[in-house]
Structure 1
Amino acid sequence: MSKIIKGIKIRLYPNKHQQAQLWQMFGNDRFVWNQMLAMARSRYQNNPSSHFVNGYQMDALLKALKQEYPFLRESDSTSLQVVNHNLDQAFKMLFKHQGGYPRFKSRRSYHQSYTGKSKLFVAAKRYLKLPKLGYIKTSKTSQLQNVKIKRYTVSHDPTGRYYLSLQVEAEVNQLPRTEKTVGLDVGIADLVISSDGIKYGTFNAKWLEKQATKWQSRYSKRCHRANVAVRQWNHNHKTVKLELDDYQNWQRARVMKARYQQRIANQRKDYLQKLTTNLVRQYDVIVIEDLKTKNLQKNHHLAKSITNASWYQFRTMLEYKCQWYGKRLMVVSPNNTSRICSTCGHNDGPKALEIREWTCPQCGTHHDRDINAAVNILKRGLKLIG
């Protein structure tokens, strides 16, 4: 048994008063971020040789900021400290040339959130007690038994729903040893092909994708019509001005589009979770290839299929599950894995993507292209292990 850090996400059902409190907290975090970022910018403009104000110094400025703006006291104090820490990290990444300059946050963004480090309490089966909010209804609390909550994030997404994401410390039991090894080749028609000859299909949600495309089209058309109407109204009426958010027909299309897209993402994630858990249970050593997904997505004919397959998410899940359950994951180079004969080692040269089977001219072995690649991946991994 070992301790791990994992994430748990549950849905919140705040009442009207709590929703108003949440939006105040979202605004307070955004306000502190923008104030600290503006201070850093003006400080540098006035004196480029001045020292950078780090996270601890930003925390010291919070007391004066709360006296000047009393509404900041309505937030969980730890959430404002997390804002300062995140801004400090953003500047450190900038100084290391690993990220761009931090941007100001907008209240018009459809995704709002705040993160705190205070203690949460499970009040009942479907109720939690959150700082400043009191007792709030949730979807479930059974996952929060025997765990230590390290950090929490309350968010509001484009679908109009509220969620609570928790970073918890929990204990997991090691899975039993099977003494089996496997090489995995990822593809588009089939997501995973194992060296054992088993093929696991790619996630498919054609009906949901069709609905998401339909509502995306409606959203774009309604947004265009609303923009035209807003410009015409504001041009003819100088006293009463309209905004794009005043057109509810456009807002409904935006929410429907976001909900279908979220359903696709949730079902894809659920499929990958079950697949990776099944693989980790079956094998002690798993060998995969080190694919550069961003480079492969530059091929516009395959970019959508590669994105839908979620190779990167599949690899990430395998990595942390192997670490949790005491299994071993090896990553090898993908060079020539589909060209080399897994029987005799002959390199038959490059082949077009539509060629899925081939026969080795040297030993005469007939290969399924994907299974042959998976066997070569396994051999490379075992060679590294020795």
Structure 2
Amino acid sequence: LPFLGKFKLNYLLKPLKKEYPFLKNSDSSSLQVVNEFLTQSWKNFFQDKSGQIGKPRFHSRKYLKKSYTGKSIIKTAGKRYLKIPKLGYVKTSKTGVLQNTKVKRYTVVLEPTGKYYLSLQAEIPEPEKYSLTDKQVGIDVGVADFAILSNELKYPSFNSSYFEKKAKIWQKKYSRRRHLAKLLVLQDRNKSVLCPRSLESFTNWQKTQKSKAKCQAKAANQRRDYLHKLTTHLVKQYDVIAIEDLKTKNLQKNHHLAKSIANASWRMFRQMLEYKCEWYGKKLIAVDPKNTSRICSKCGYNSSAKPLEIREWTCSKCQTKHDRDINAAVNILHKGSTKLNGQGLAMVTS
């Protein structure tokens, strides 16, 4: 069969709307965006030589996170209102930041908690650069302490145990109520009841699902807020930041630490540092984490591997006592300095 591009697929929308009138209820640009995504996903599949990208598949209607994307122009109407195609005037948060900006795309998302969110892709002027501080730092990430700096500062990990306990309680209730609802549906089907009940007619398990989602969303929002504040503080304080180039997926194969690593959100921390350093004119360097906790930061002696329980050790060559995490952060800074000098750039002095 011939491969249809996005323009040919857009040409087919008109006869499809005549055949299926409900398509007219949605924004026409959102259907064009779907065609664009479909074309791009097929191109990625055919051009992939590694075999890691699979075929495009239909979205399940049972997927909890429902969304659609459009590329029509959104107009601001007042301080807290936006005009969206087909939806009309929608009350939102403050729209003052959208003044003199061009909105290119928008995405409306229905979260499992029942709340609607509007994400905008807009053209904005470049943010102002932060003033230079002539400081550099190496950062070692961990589980007990989230970020350990080479200048011996430690930032604690985000504690979400309260919301995790509540989510587990609601998860048990959700699983039990959904199982009972399934049994009643099968019972009606086996007895050939005149009006058999469907799974959607039982609302108790749907209510528990929303309660569980609210606890999980609360923890996720607070974790994201903590990471935003921490990364902004680091970018303001330091001109050069050296971090480990960690492969989080490989680390999560350790089943004893997989949950703690996932809760730490190391990947999100690095992503925030990357784009904030690019925005505000700072430098981020990712180095190989190999042997950073084994090498003595004073004399450079490479000692034997130590289990994770040992948090302090003494160098057998120079007899310097090290904190494992601080020593790793200093070694990361040394590696970052070497890598930066190899690129022909000058390392700032603290």
Common topology (TM > 0.5): yes
- The correspondence for 2:177, drawn from 203, 211, 222, is 222
- The correspondence for 2:30, drawn from 54, 62, 79, is 79
* 1:98 Cα offset (Å): 4.0
Identical-residue share of aligned pairs (%): 58
Q: How does 1:23-38 map to 2 (within 5 A)?
A: none
CA distance in 2, matches of 1:134, 1:128: 8
Q: Does 1:134 align with 2:88?
A: yes
CA distance in 2, matches of 1:215, 1:247: 17
* Structure 1 vs Structure 2 CA RMSD: 1.2
- The correspondence for 1:151, drawn from 78, 81, 105, is 105
What amino acid is aligned across from residue 118 of structure 2 in structure 1?
L
What amino acid is aligned across from residue 115 of structure 2 in structure 1?
R
CA distance in 1, matches of 2:212, 2:44: 34
Q: Deviations over 1:111-151 (max 9, x none)?
A: 21110011111101211110111111113323323432121
- The correspondence for 1:119, drawn from 44, 63, 73, is 73
* 1:360 Cα offset (Å): 0.5
Q: Does 1:189 align with 2:140?
A: no
Q: Does 1:92 align with 2:48?
A: no
What amino acid is aligned across from residue 111 of structure 2 in structure 1?
D
Report runs of 4+ in structure 1 exceeding 3 Å deviation.
none
Q: Deviations over 1:21-64 (max 9, x none)?
A: xxxxxxxxxxxxxxxxxxxxxxxxxxxxx332222221121122
1:314 maps to 269
1:39 maps to none
* 1:333 Cα offset (Å): 0.2
CA distance in 2, matches of 1:209, 1:244: 27
Q: Which moved more, 1:275-284 or 1:164-173?
A: 164-173
CA distance in 2, matches of 1:86, 1:186: 36
CA distance in 1, matches of 2:250, 2:18: 51
2:347 maps to none
Q: Does the aligned pair in 2 maintain the 1:90–1:99 contact within 8 Å? A: no
2:12 maps to 61
Q: Does 1:362 align with 2:317?
A: yes
Q: Deviations over 1:317-342 (max 9, x none)?
A: 00000011110100100000000000
SS of residue in 1 equivalent to 2:12:
helix
Segments of structure 2 that go 5 or more residues without pairing to the other structure are 342-350
Q: Does 1:245 align with 2:200?
A: yes
Q: Does the aligned pair in 2 maintain the 1:122–1:129 contact within 8 Å? A: yes
- CA change 1:283–1:146 in 2 (3 A) is farther
CA distance in 1, matches of 2:333, 2:100: 38
* 1:307 Cα offset (Å): 0.3
CA distance in 2, matches of 1:144, 1:378: 40
- The correspondence for 2:115, drawn from 120, 145, 161, is 161
Q: How does 1:226-305 map to 2 (within 5 A)?
A: 226-305=181-260
Q: Does the aligned pair in 2 maintain the 1:234–1:240 contact within 8 Å? A: no
What amino acid is aligned across from residue 41 of structure 2 in structure 1?
A
CA distance in 1, matches of 2:169, 2:21: 46
CA distance in 2, matches of 1:146, 1:180: 36
SS of residue in 1 equivalent to 2:104:
strand
Q: How does 1:44-55 map to 2 (within 5 A)?
A: 50-55=1-6
2:164 maps to 209
* 1:374 Cα offset (Å): 0.4
Q: Does the aligned pair in 2 maintain the 1:187–1:193 contact within 8 Å? A: yes
CA distance in 2, matches of 1:369, 1:356: 5
* 1:200 Cα offset (Å): 0.6
Q: Deviations over 1:339-380 (max 9, x none)?
A: 000000000110000000001010111100000000000001
CA distance in 1, matches of 2:292, 2:83: 54
- Give TM-score, length-normalised by structure 2: 0.94
What amino acid is aligned across from residue 73 of structure 1 in structure 2?
K
* 1:298 Cα offset (Å): 0.4
Segments of structure 1 that go 5 or more residues without pairing to the other structure are 1-49
CA distance in 2, matches of 1:204, 1:151: 35
Q: Deviations over 1:187-218 (max 9, x none)?
A: 00011101010001111022111111110111
CA distance in 1, matches of 2:141, 2:99: 37
- CA change 1:122–1:302 in 2 (3 A) is same
CA distance in 1, matches of 2:312, 2:100: 51
